Structure 1
């Protein structure tokens, strides 16, 4: 049987993926640094396990065809695992939503191609749904010069997601303008957007899609929005000085420890019943537009399903195209609608009175 390895199996999302994998009859090798956490989980599920630090990853990937990397913060852990996978000719997947990981994947694209290795970050939420919307919109409007994306999430978030949001705030605002990632004032770009439940105030924030959607579509101007109450948007503008404070390693490390102690993530009922609403809009130089929307399963449910679908599809592919990918470039823009609880993907243009579904 072809082996694949789940690194970070003892994390909040990693454990959920491990348990779901076993329920589906899959047999990942569970891995991580924490013997006291990984071993009991592996024994409970009847799975093989390996304990290693990322510095030793090369020697521990023997016999592994695909790594699903779930150990955050990905801004720290992804590059060492990607490097090890390229050196050992092992395909790489992860569930990150962090910009820097996609940027690094593009940097090592040539090495990955030479090694015959797939490197595809972001096979979870947020990147699967927004990436698929971006590609679908680009197919509907190939001449698009502007792309805006966003998502309306259930309230409960895991510790890892909260850390990602916090670290994004520390980096300040970002947008892709004329093809380049550009620093913008945190809280400086706002709008009122209907993500699928009515118009709400929204704030542009530095999401991974600024890299992934550009990779997938080559659209030069991209923004990503998150709905927030107006007072919180105002507070974000006021707290710009806080972003500088969070950029200090010691302050951020202390904040991460506090998050680990206080944030527990959604429970089983929230994961089963919650939904997310994802929106996208393209525009062209002539002012024409197209809008896409989709309702998805709860982000954690989608991440579990998306990650396992990515693993099984990659293992089954007879000759996967090597190099750096996004979910939509590797698995197709229909990936999101193949996941349970998500869809249909509806695109509306000025020529349609009702959206067309995919």
Structure 2
């Protein structure tokens, strides 16, 4: 029987995943930095636990672990030491990040993963499974696409971990990919109107993880990522962007993160159940032919539970060549359609007049 670990199981999303894993009859080892917090949850769920920091000795804690699902953010700070531990112990590595820098770093380690015969796959949650799958679906529908836009619309609340990740990225602006190269864009500069699935709305470009991963999934050279926002909030975001240097200071980030720890608890079950997500994508080729795809999914946190556990399940039973993968690169565009709460892709084609 293969052993796997949820590291960061005492966090909001990690705990949700752990509880659902047990409900499905799975038996992960719970891991984290706080022995007190991890032990309490492990005893409640009748699971084994290991408490250890992500330092130079972390690999020793993974010697008998076949796969780690890393849920302890901010991933910009925690992913690199965990990946190094997994490379040393020959342990498959998954995480639920949405951070562009983490995706780029994980991709950079492809050769090492091949040599160690392990899978490295960042973003096995809402960040970025549904958008990665819709990107691949559009590539399949329009193989010669040169422009790709992706986005989502959801009324979901925000967990403490997500807030901390957002704070960590303050001052960095937005981002897109142009002719295969990642470029920073001032926050609020990218604006357009999009129908994500609930009617046309004003939208703003954001530095979502797909500007990294969708390029590796599809090879499409120009990629942007979007969320709906009222025009007044887009204007406010542009003003916030102009104060980026202040927001980027460690002092400001530390103050904001302490507030999150004190004030933010994350959306409850009722909120999650009533807040589905609407995923949208658009691909265009040189001739101006446009393909648009949409799909409705479960709430962003519930989808993270479902997608991460499905990818864990498959990797524990399937033999796949080692290396870096995106979620859709591992299991195809149909991965999202098979998850609880997901519909089927809806596709439209538009031709230039």
Structure 2 length normalisation: TM-score?
A: 0.97
How far does the alpha carbon of each residue in 1:290-326 deviate from its partner, in whole angstroms, 9 at most, with x for none? 0000000001110001111111110010x21211111
Partner residue of 2:260? 259
Tell me what 2:332 maps to.
Answer: 332
Structure 2 residue matching 1:71: 3-state secondary structure: coil
8 Å contact kept, 1:147–1:280? yes
CA shift for structure 1 position 169 = 4.0
Gaps of 5+ in 1: 352-358
Q: Deviations over 1:215-272 (max 9, x none)?
A: 1001110000011111110111122233222211221122112122222111011222
Superposed CA deviations along residues 3-23 of structure 1, whole A, max 9, x for unmatched, are: 001100000000011111111
Q: Please give the residue correspondences for 1:1-358 in structure 2 after superposition, counting only pairs within 5 Å.
A: 1-55=1-55, 56-317=57-318, 319-350=319-350
Distance, in Å, in 1 between the alignment partners of 2:172 and 2:241 is: 10
Deviation sequence 1:99-123 (CA, Å, 0-9, x none): 1111011111000001001000111
Partner of 1:356: none
| Cα separation, 2, equivalents of 1:260 and 1:170 | 21
Deviations 1:315-340 (CA, angstroms, capped at 9, x unpaired): 010x2121111100012111101100
User: Match of 2:208, SS?
Assistant: coil
CA distance in 2 between counterparts of 1:60 and 1:294 reads 40
After superposition, the C-alpha distances for 1:34-60 in whole angstroms (9 at most, x for unaligned) are 011100100001000001001121110
Q: Following the alignment from structure 1 to structure 2, what is the Cα–Cα distance between the partners of residues 11 and 322?
A: 29
Segments of structure 2 that go 5 or more residues without pairing to the other structure are: none
Task: Please give the secondary structure, in 1, of the residue aligned with 2:145.
Answer: coil
| Partner Cα distance (1:242, 1:264) in 2 | 28
Cα distance in 2 between the residues matched to 1:207 and 1:350: 26
SS at match of 1:27: coil
Query: Residues 122 and 167 of structure 1: is their aligned pair in 2 closer, same or farther, counting only changes over 3 Å?
Result: same
Cα distance in structure 2, aligned partners of 1:152 and 1:191: 14
Segments of 4+ in structure 1 off by > 6 A? none
Is the CA contact (8 Å cut-off) linking 2:171 and 2:241 kept in structure 1? no
SS at match of 2:350: coil
| Matched residue count | 350
Aligned CA RMSD, in angstroms, stands at: 1.1
SS of alignment partner, residue 126 of structure 2: coil
Q: Please say if residues 290 and 348 of structure 1, whose CA atoms lie closer than 8 Å, have aligned partners that are also in contact.
A: yes
Please give the alpha-carbon distance, in whole angstroms, between the structure 2 residues aligned to 1:350 and 1:202.
21
Work out whether residues 156 and 299 of structure 2, in 8 Å CA contact, stay in contact via their aligned partners in 1. no
Q: Give the distance between the partners of 1:149 and 1:35, measured in 2 at CA.
A: 40
Q: Distance in 2 between matches of 1:178 and 1:166?
A: 29
Match of 1:354 in 2: none
Q: 2: CA distance between counterparts of 1:349 and 1:165?
A: 35
Q: Matched residues in 2 for 1:175 and 1:169: separation?
A: 17
1:2, distance to aligned residue in structure 2 (A): 1.2
